[in-house]
Amino acid sequence: MRKVHELRWNPLLGCWIIVAGHRARRPWRPEEKKRICPFCPGAPETKDEGEWDVLVLPNKYPALSLDAEEPNMKDEFYRHGRAVGVCEVVVETPIHEGDLCDLSLDHMKKVIDAYTDEYEKLGKLREVKYVVIFRNKGKEIGVSLTHPHSQIYALPFIPPRIAVELKNFRRFMEEKGSCLLCTIIEKERRENKRLIYENDGFVCLLPFFAMWPYEVHVYPKRHVTSLSELSNEERLQLADALRIITGTYNNLFDRDMPYIMVIHQRPTDGEEYPYYHMHIEFYPPYREKDKLKYAAGIEWGTWTFTYDGVPEEKAKELRMACLKFLSKVDKHLGRCVS
């Protein structure tokens, strides 16, 4: 395979694409081939780390690199760019199996602390404009390694979905004089139709405008633009919220639920974004216990999602699963909203 590692500009959508040919060689679910898990204690990637609870490692097959070369192909029409940036893996626990809900509250708080530290560290790099923290879980999502872990990409550009959010948050602030997400939180708590769980610092809900059947958003009640602005107590409350939502998912169908989790926060390009409100979004791919929600022609081709079901009814199912999980979880800081 020809070595190509660069950014390519999509002129139709006005966004960058990362081309990383070397990633085609990364391993696929090595535990199924009886190979050593690279994230378990004693593996080559972790053997020199001593004892640890949460470990941040460089991605062995990074899509971005701080020493990325200039593209070697010149074109007068198509734009190229250096695939400059950082890719990291946050190994959340030494234990090979499990989910965020299987961590203790204090341990999950250490994961949040690691997220925050890396956001601040990587965001200071001159080349980095946005730090995205995300978690892929399950073979249905395409996860290549099952050991519990998250990923961090420090990007040299603001990704298009975040750019759209920033535009809409700013417009709402200019037109209404208030934060868009603060307004949504107030409305959702007042109507109490789609709320799932809340504690003193965070509210978890299935949004009115959900695209995935069991999509859940986690919103800080206080107006903050990034993890860095959370107090130590709020980080603990966020750890609680993420434990409860992942436990809710696993109790929804009495099965290990796959999902994508993405943290949305302000860019790190040196600009001020006081109108933005950080939040976390979950996208699980199932619409029923044994039926996947496939993004098909209308979704991929036009970005117009069809919601399979009624959000308020799906929220009721999630609340029941949340109550079920709370009855057996060791410790929690909030309540399932009924």
Which pLDDT score is estimated for 25? 62
Of the listed 5, 147, 149, 217, which one is catalytic?
149
Is residue 28 scored above 60 in pLDDT?
no
Q: Architecture of domain 5-155 in CATH?
A: 2-Layer Sandwich (3.30)
pLDDT tens digits for range 294-333: 999 999 999 999 999 999 999 999 999 999 999 999 899 9
pLDDT tens digits for range 139-159: 999 998 999 999 999 999 999
What is the four-CA torsion angle of 303, 308, 312, 316, rounded to 10 degrees?
Answer: -130
Is residue 244 scored above 90 in pLDDT?
yes
Active site (annotated) includes residue 149 = yes
CATH classification for the domain delimited by 160-336, as one of 3.30.428.10, 1.20.1290.10, 3.30.70.260, 3.30.470.20:
3.30.428.10
The beta strand positions in 92-158, using DSSP E, are 130-137, 149-155
Q: Which two tokens stand for residue 1?
A: 């395979």
Which pLDDT score is estimated for 73? 78
Q: Report the C-alpha gap between 285 and 156 in whole angstroms.
A: 29
Is residue 29 scored above 80 in pLDDT?
no
Q: Report the C-alpha gap between 247 and 261 in whole angstroms.
A: 14
pLDDT tens digits for range 73-116: 788 899 999 999 999 999 999 999 999 999 999 999 999 999 99
* pLDDT band at residue 27 under the 50/70/90 scheme: low
Mean pLDDT of 255-281: 97
Which pLDDT score is estimated for 14? 95
Which pLDDT score is estimated for 139? 93
| Residue in 34, 14, 67, 256 with CA at minimum distance from that of residue 148 | 256
The residue to which tokens 């610092």 are assigned: 201
Which pLDDT score is estimated for 26? 61
Mean pLDDT of 38-45: 92
Is residue 2 scored above 60 in pLDDT?
no
pTM of the model: 0.95
CATH 3.30.428.10 residue ranges for the chain: 5-155, 160-336
Is residue 117 scored above 60 in pLDDT?
yes
Contact 287, 192 (CB under 8 A): no
Is residue 338 scored above 90 in pLDDT?
no
Residue 89, SS3? strand
How distant, in Å, are the alpha carbons of 156, 216, 279, 293 from that of 254?
Answer: 41, 18, 27, 18
